[in-house]
Amino acid sequence: MAFDSLSEKLQNVFKSLRSKGLLTEEDVKTALKEVKLALLEADVNFKVVKQFVKSVQERAVGQDVMNGLNPGQMVIKIVNEELVALMGAETTEIALRPGSEITVIMMAGLQGAGKTTTTAKIAGKLKQKGRKPLLAACDIYRPAAIQQLQINGEKQGVEVFSMGDGHKPANIARAAIEHAKAKGFNTVILDTAGRLHVDEEMMQELQEIKEQVEVHQTILVVDAMTGQDAVNVAVTFNDKIGVDGVILTKLDGDTRGGAALSIRAVTGKPLLYVGMGEKLSDLEQFYPDRMANRILGMGDVLTLIEKAQETIDEEKARELEQKMKKAEFGFDDYLESMSQMKKMGGISSLLSMMPGIGGSQIAEIENAMDEKKMARIEGIIYSMTPKERANPSILNPSRKRRIAKGAGVDISEVNRLVKQFEQSRKMMKQMPGLMGGKGKRRGGF
Q: Which residues bind ligand GDP (CB under 6 A)?
A: 109, 111-117, 194, 249-250, 252-253, 275-278, 282
- CB closer to ligand GDP out of 18 and 250: 250
- CB closer to ligand GDP out of 273 and 331: 273
Shortest approach of ligand GDP to residue 106 CB, angstroms? Answer: 14
- CB closer to ligand GDP out of 143 and 397: 143
Q: Is 64 exposed, middle or buried (0-12, 13-18, 19+ CB in 10 A)?
A: exposed
Q: Buried b vs exposed e over 136-157: b needs ≥16 C-beta within 10 Å?
A: bbbbbeeeebbebbbebbeebe
Shortest approach of ligand GDP to residue 250 CB, angstroms? Answer: 4
C-alpha separations of 29 from 24, 60, 78, 361 in Å? 9, 10, 14, 33
Give all strands (DSSP E) within 63-147, no chain letters. 103-109, 133-137
d(CA 107, CA 173): 12
Shortest approach of ligand GDP to residue 309 CB, angstroms? Answer: 36
Beta bridge partners of 135: 160, 189
Determine the Cα angle at 21 with ends 4 and 445, to 5°: 90
- CB closer to ligand GDP out of 125 and 389: 125
Beta bridge partners of 223: 249
- CB closer to ligand GDP out of 21 and 253: 253
Q: What's phi and psi for 268, nearest 5 deg? A: 75, 5
- CB closer to ligand GDP out of 144 and 182: 144
d(CA 406, CA 376): 12
Shortest approach of ligand GDP to residue 12 CB, angstroms? Answer: 28
Residue nearest to ligand GDP as judged by C-beta position: 275
Contacts of 202 (CB under 8 A, 6+ apart): 193, 194, 195
Shortest approach of ligand GDP to residue 148 CB, angstroms? Answer: 6
- CB closer to ligand GDP out of 229 and 332: 229
- CB closer to ligand GDP out of 154 and 178: 154
Shortest approach of ligand GDP to residue 280 CB, angstroms? Answer: 10
Shortest approach of ligand GDP to residue 115 CB, angstroms? Answer: 3
Shortest approach of ligand GDP to residue 276 CB, angstroms? Answer: 6
Strands laid side by side in the 160-161 sheet: 160-161, 133-137, 187-191, 103-109, 217-223, 245-249, 271-275, 283-285
Quickly count: other Cβ atoms within 10 Å of residue 98's Cβ. Answer: 7
